[in-house]
Chain A
Amino acid sequence: MRPEADLSRRGFLGLAGSGLFVFFRVEPIEAFQEPARLPSRQLYPTDFNAYLRIGADGRVGCMVGKVELGQGSMTALAQLLAEELDVAFDSVDMVMGDTDLCPWDMGTFGSLSVRMFGPALRAAGAEARAVLLQMAAERLEAPAGRLQVEAGVVSDPSSAGKRVTYAELVQGKRIERHLEKVPVKPVSAFTVVGKSPRRKDALEKVTGKARYAADMALPGTLHARVLRPPVHGATLKDVDTAAAEKVAGVRVVKDGEFVAVLHERPDLADKALGLIRAQFNRPQPTFDDKTIFDHLLKAAPPLQVVGESGSLAEGEKLSASILEETYLNSYVAHAPMETHSAVARIEGGKVTVWASTQTPFPLKQQVVQALGLTQQNVRVITPYVGGGFGGKSASQQAIEAAWLAKITGRPVQVVMDRAEEFFYDSFRPAAVVKVRAGVAADGKMVLWDYQVWGAGDREAKPFYDIPNQRARSAGGWMGGNPPGMHPFAVGPWRAPSVNTNTFARESHIDILANKVGRDPLEFRLSHLSDKRMRRVLEAVAKQFGWEPGRAPSGRGVGVACGIYSGTYVATMAEVEVEKSTGRVQVQRVVTAQDQGVVVNPDGSRQQMEGSITMGLGYALTEEVHFKDGEVLERNFDTYQIPRFSWLPKIETILIDNPELPASGCGEPPIITMGAVIANAIYDAVGARLLQLPMTPERIKEALKRG
């Protein structure tokens, strides 16, 4: 080993003592997590200068704590500001996820960028516009009410040539004047919102110029590879780095359980890592991916009631037939194409971290704590992020990079390889759902007793009209689970809780409809007084060309619906099942979505298509296998994500609903994909799948059961 000259052992231990043993923690760190409940009050700043800056050249800087993961916030948020400020969309330059430049934000998740941050940004734009108008009125000596604004130019229509630009008014300075209670524009006045301009990130992304965290090329950067335990919960027993140290140009950092090799070339650091010989004490877990469900039932905390009405005893009495089923889903990985990456540099006592993260501000807090620095001395910059889906709410790689930069005095890059990405992912939790439901002699559902273990309680309560119902939940993705309940980190996976709960609810509704000989769409509608849900169901049925029938009709059609983050979705699908192999090809998927005001129709459709396509994976193949504590998935050979050849014909319908404020669109349709495919498989071949993913093996088993 070649110890670093600038690192005394005491200094190193000091660091280690300040919370750096995050490296081997199994449970995710709370501060990284998407909160289970949203904060009760908004924490966004009220000074509009925090969000916007008008340059002397007329360009408008828009600063937001959100990040661009591919979901299109860069474009949609620019539209919101351009709309309220009355500037050209093309004149807005987005600055995102930079903790020195942008207003605080809890993170980019939960389909909340437009829904929760949007109002703050719009209010800032509206107030700034009103202030600018007032300034223009003084400059032009005309009443503000008479002035018009277009593309950042204020003019007086009653006096030709009387005009002044925002840039002239502001002259590159901060606007010190403020106004209270300035209303935002009514939907009817929108000219930028509701359109689909070219994405702000388009040109950079098709030319390879878009920079991601690992693309930050800083002179003198060392690439670090970290020695990882073979299984979760393992502790380092013995390590021999002698061979690794012989690689020319390598640096080895070693203390306690943390061992890293660094090199100016990442592949040579990787080679050095491969030369380390390490022995670990391995825990002996008593469960694997097959027995996990029994374990979850035993290890979960007590069930909590999340919704209750009527009387279950009354429901039992009224029921002419009662059906009970147990639904299962496995752990699922986020598997973004970009693995967790970060570059950290320390200059003049200040750490700058470029990170692929969904939570730059919570990450900053973690770096402050880990390195024992002040708030002013840590900056997190979030370049483009190569996909997140909830998995980049946790950012341990960035803390490792910052720490190693401090130790080595050089910029350090940490890029997880694909096996690390799977190993350290915060999976969608495995879950068990038990539903007991009853239908009265008149065909009405009168009993619904729902229990979910592991997934979380979002949308556990049904939106159907059922007089006697109870929903209970135990443990979930959001942390706070009893130690050892989940054998590795779990966290938010695109539409957390709701994929599981929608799969169970919508499968069970179909089973009930079938039991009483009803068409599944008609059965749903007969229990729905919620107008928004009726509307998405009716819209999807019309586009799909739904013809009533009783499953299994052999047609292979299915329906499912649900709510996520205030958005309503209904999906219909058509599948083909090859009985001999159990192979499913989804032929067609139609989804109708009501997200209130649509900020960017093409962007919304992109998200719907993405959710539908990604949802094919958890429905059909995606499952994390593990045995003896080892995550068996290491790459895309065993972990199969959707491919071109899986593609159904996808049709998306956006419901026009301007009466409601814009809600989220980055996740909703994915919630329906498990159930809609399960229901369509049943309709095709009469096999009811109760476990996700619906692999060929499980389909063949279900066919045997009949």
Chain B
Amino acid sequence: MQRTISFTLNGRPVRVTVNDERMLLWVLRYDLGLTGTKFGCGAALCGACTVIVDQEAVRSCSTPVKEVAGKRVLTIEGLSQQGGLHPIQEAFLKHHAFQCGYCTSGMILNAYALLLKTPRPARAEIIRLMDDNLCRCGSHTRIVDAIQEAAGAMKGGAK
């Protein structure tokens, strides 16, 4: 159904008039111009499109835009907007926890939600909670290191 949907995107209110069954990924990328969120599989199987909706990591390729009405959506573009990088981004940078970079936005945002819920995760917890985010280049070991370091830098105070 065509209708106007309002939500908060990276701290700012937005309104889009769209078919409300369309997936959030496409509305973010092509209606709102935020291309940091990637298409990988279209079936919530890879995590490249992960964004944060009200503190939860969701797969935007499989989330109809109507489901975010009135909610707060955070994308990779919003993570560093307060001047300077978020500690998770800093840690990914330091560890070179990426290669091609295509899965990186999703990895960072999934890690963001992970640290909100589990501020001091054990290595095994990071592995378990990141398991549905795929990386083909094989940066996994560095991503785990980066998340551990970010958790330390945030001192349990995830935000």
Contact = CB atoms under 8 A, between A and B. Distances in A.
Contact of A70 (B36, B45, B80, B137): B137
Contacts of B108: 206
The contact size tier of chain A is 35 or more
Interface string A609-621: 1111110000000
A207 B89 contact: yes
B140 A647 contact: yes
Contact of B138 (A266, A386, A613): A613
Contacts, number: 164
Contact of B99 (A71, A206, A215, A335): A71
B41 A611 contact: no
Given A208-B75, A614-B137, A338 B102 contact: yes
A201 interface: yes
B116 interface: no
Interface string B124-159: 001110111111111111111000000000000000
A337 B144 contact: no
B121 to A, nearest CB: 12
A217 B138 contact: no
B92 A72 contact: no
B100 interface: yes
B58 interface: no
A179 interface: no
Contacts of B14: none
Interface in B1-56: 22-23, 26, 30-31, 33-43, 45-46, 48
Contact of B144 (A70, A206, A339, A647): A647
Given A335-B136, A635-B43, A644-B144, A266 B30 contact: yes
Contacts of A204: 101
Nearest to B41: A418
A203 interface: yes
Nearest to A634: B43
Interface in B76-125: 76-77, 79-80, 85, 89, 92-93, 96, 98-105, 108
Contacts of A71: 99
Nearest to A335: B136
A267 B89 CA distance: 30
Contacts of B75: 208
Given A206-B108, A637-B43, A70 B141 contact: no
B36 A610 contact: no
Contacts of B38: 212, 337-338, 386
B92 A613 contact: no
A456 to B, nearest CB: 22
A17 to B, nearest CB: 34
B74 to A, nearest CB: 11
Contact of A611 (B76, B77, B126, B138): B138
A209 interface: yes
A217 B136 CA distance: 26
A235 interface: no
A260 interface: no
A417 interface: yes
Contact of A267 (B23, B37, B132): B23
A644 B102 contact: no
A602 interface: yes
Contacts of A265: 22, 26, 30-31
Interface of chain B, main secondary structure: loop
Contact of B131 (A264, A338, A614, A645): A645
A267 to B, nearest CB: 4
A209 B143 CA distance: 19
B100 A208 contact: no
Interface string A642-659: 111101001000000000
A350 interface: no
B127 A201 contact: no
A387 interface: yes
B96 A337 contact: no
A387 B137 contact: yes
A282 interface: no
Nearest to A647: B140
Of A217, A602, A645, most buried by chain B (CB within 10 Å of CB) is A645
Contacts of B133: 644
A606 B95 CA distance: 10
A267 B100 contact: no
Of A208, A223, A650, most buried by chain B (CB within 10 Å of CB) is A208
Contacts of A264: 30
A174 B107 CA distance: 43
A214 B100 CA distance: 14
A221 B134 CA distance: 29
A217 B33 contact: yes
A534 interface: no
A210 B101 contact: yes
Contacts of A267: 22-23, 26
Given A206-B92, A207-B89, A212-B102, A613 B140 contact: yes
Given A217-B35, A266-B30, A417 B134 contact: no
A650 B134 contact: no
B139 to A, nearest CB: 7
Interface of A: 69-72, 198-199, 201-212, 214-215, 217, 223, 264-268, 335-339, 384-387, 389, 415, 417-418, 602, 606, 609-614, 635-637, 641-645, 647, 650
Given A206-B85, A635-B41, A650-B141, 16 more contacts: A71-B99, A203-B93, A206-B108, A208-B104, A217-B33, A265-B30, A386-B101, A389-B136, A418-B40, A609-B139, A613-B139, A635-B43, A637-B45, A643-B134, A644-B130, A644-B140
Interface of B: 22-23, 26, 30-31, 33-43, 45-46, 48, 75-77, 79-80, 85, 89, 92-93, 96, 98-105, 108, 126-128, 130-144
14 contacts: A70-B98, A205-B98, A207-B79, A267-B22, A337-B102, A384-B101, A385-B100, A609-B139, A610-B137, A613-B138, A636-B41, A643-B131, A643-B134, A644-B126
Q: Which 7 residue pairs of A and B lie closest in terms of their CB atoms, listed nearest first?
A: A208-B36, A70-B100, A613-B138, A386-B102, A70-B99, A208-B76, A205-B101
